[in-house]
Amino acid sequence: MKITRVRVRSSAGPYSVVAGVGVIGHAAREIAHLGHFSSLHIVSSPKVWRAAGKTVERGLRLSHRKTLHLFNDAESAKHLGAVEHIARSLCQAGADRKSLIIAVGGGVVGDVAGFAAASYLRGVALVHIPTTLVAQVDSSIGGKTGVNLPEGKNLVGAFYPPRLVITDPDLLGTLADREFRGGLAEVVKHAVISDAPLFARLEKDLDRILRRDREALGSLIARNVQIKARVVSRDERESGLREILNFGHTFAHALESATLYRRYQHGEAVAWGMMAAAFLGYELKVTPAPDVSRIISLVCRLEPLPPWPSLSPAVLLDAMRSDKKSRSGVLRFVLSVRIGRARTFDSVPQQAVERVLRFTPRLIAAAGGRFGVSK
């Protein structure tokens, strides 16, 4: 078994991401290295626990008292009420400051459980065991936690790094095809912003990856963990370099919030957002045309995606202004200057954004993508 161990720096001290096929079987040993805990509390969702619970329990061969806390992990349920539900459940179970919370699930579970861990008794230890591709390559690494408000996505939260992340591709075995393809959008994002050879590898091997070839998937996840860890270690609180991880996300978050988090899984919105960002880069003479073509072509291979909503550009622009990345209502976008490199652009002309919002779904449909504008 090949295990990749990646060290992540944070203000609270370094932690490790341990990634590899079958590593969940060594979860107890990895957690034991963290020290003694008075009790262990697993936070997950009913759906995730039915799929992965037995595997996780076998890996957590610990002598601690274990308590299971379940909540709805739909994006539309990612709100402060979910955090309160978990906090009260922890209180009722007798969790104290020496307890350990283990988040088992995808991005919503990680975000909500992470925020609960940051808030409960002003902070208790946290371990992530991500069970979706997007969580394994992205959201479980870096310490960002939070929940949505009606006004926008992830507007309430905290930077709270875990003590450990255990990432096993075998936990993706029961992942729905739609969620798997959505997770690959974050993989494409990492390649666009930071790794041109990885982008070329995706162009060559995407069909094999979509078949979930064990060897290809294991090495792909390990590489993405390294990319994410490198970025967040250099910029933990998103004051500079880390912003490049938001490539496509200004559009994506607007699409999610404007459709009340019910149309798209996060990766699907990111896929649309990356294509829109590529077009915006071309519109602003930032992204070369050949690179735009390659980005669009690769993302389109992740289809089918839910269609672009039949909303006016004005509605989506309002949603963008509520995004946490805006500054005093000024829109900011991460754009690719070439495949493998990206940076943030301030004060992007609103007219350019409106054109992209109006024409992106039509251009994709004309290019042969099996998605367009909803009716």
Please report where in the chains the tokens 């290809």 appear, as a residue.
216
Mark whether 238 is an active-site residue: yes
Given 30, 186, 236, 283, the catalytic residue: 186
> Residues of 93-120 as b/e, b for ≥16 C-beta within 10 angstroms?
eebeeebbbbbbbbbbbbbbbbbbbbbb
| CB atoms near residue 15 (< 10 Å) | 22
Strand partners, 41: 67, 101
Return the SS3 of 101.
strand
Rounded to whole angstroms, the Cα distance separating 275 from 277 reads: 5
> Residue 186: pLDDT band by 50, 70, 90 thresholds?
very high
Mark whether 266 is an active-site residue: yes
Given 238, 256, 268, 283, the catalytic residue: 238
Given 69, 189, 190, 242, the catalytic residue: 242
Task: Out of 86-100, 268-282, 320-334, pick the least confident.
Answer: 320-334
Q: What is the pLDDT of residue 258?
A: 94
Strand partners, 30: none
Q: Residue 123: which residues within 8 A CB-CB, separation 6 or more?
A: 97, 117, 160
Given 249, 256, 268, 283, the catalytic residue: 249
Give Cα 144 distance to the centre of its chain.
10
Residue type, 191: A
Q: What is the pLDDT of residue 331?
A: 85
- Residue 62, token pair as written in the block: 């610990």
Q: What is the pLDDT of residue 62?
A: 59
Q: What is the pLDDT of residue 106?
A: 95
3-state helix, strand, coil in the chain (%, to 5): 50, 15, 30
Is this structure's pTM higher than 0.75? yes
Q: How far is CA 104 from CA 29, 70, 115, 262, 330, in A?
A: 17, 10, 14, 22, 37
Overall average pLDDT of the 167-171 stretch: 95
Please name each of the domains of the chain with its CATH number: 4-172 (3.40.50.1970), 205-211+247-366 (1.20.1090.10)
Rounded to whole angstroms, the Cα distance separating 315 from 293 reads: 28
Mark whether 242 is an active-site residue: yes
Rounded to whole angstroms, the Cα distance separating 365 from 370 reads: 7
Q: What is the pLDDT of residue 347?
A: 83
Give the chain's end-to-end CA distance (angstroms, integer).
49
Share above pLDDT 70 across residues of the chain, in percent, rounded to a whole number: 94
> Residues of 20-57 as b/e, b for ≥16 C-beta within 10 angstroms?
bbebbebbeebbeeeeebebbbbbbbebbbebbbebbb
Rounded to whole angstroms, the Cα distance separating 99 from 39 reads: 5
Given 69, 144, 189, 190, the catalytic residue: 144
Q: What is the pLDDT of residue 187?
A: 97
User: Is it the case that residue 114 has pLDDT exceeding 70?
Assistant: yes
Given 179, 228, 236, 243, the catalytic residue: 228
Mark whether 249 is an active-site residue: yes
Supply the DSSP string of 146-200, one letter for each residue. EEEETTEEEEEEEE---SEEEE-GGGGTT--HHHHHHHHHHHHHHHHHH-HHHHH
> Residue 368: pLDDT band by 50, 70, 90 thresholds?
low
Q: What is the pLDDT of residue 63?
A: 46
Given 246, 256, 268, 283, the catalytic residue: 246
More confident residue, 17 or 366: 17
Could you read off the pLDDT of 187-216 as tens digits, one per residue? 999 999 999 999 999 999 999 999 998 888
Q: Residue 299: which residues within 8 A CB-CB, separation 6 or more?
A: 185, 188, 271, 274, 275
User: 148, 154 in Cβ contact below 8 A?
Assistant: yes
Q: What is the pLDDT of residue 305?
A: 92
Mark whether 144 is an active-site residue: yes
- Residue 156, token pair as written in the block: 């309430």
Task: Out of 140-144, 240-244, 267-271, pick the least confident.
Answer: 240-244
Overall average pLDDT of the 289-318 stretch: 94
User: Contacts by 176-179 with C-beta closer than 8 Å and gap 24+?
Assistant: 178/265, 178/268, 179/106, 179/132, 179/133, 179/134, 179/265, 179/267
Mark whether 98 is an active-site residue: no
Could you read off the pLDDT of 307-344 as tens digits, one per residue? 999 999 999 999 998 776 665 667 889 999 999 999 99
Given 223, 253, 268, 283, the catalytic residue: 253
Average pLDDT, the chain: 92
6 φ/ψ angles, rounded to the nearest 5 degrees: -115, 130
DSSP-derived secondary structure letter, 307: P
DSSP-derived secondary structure letter, 327: B
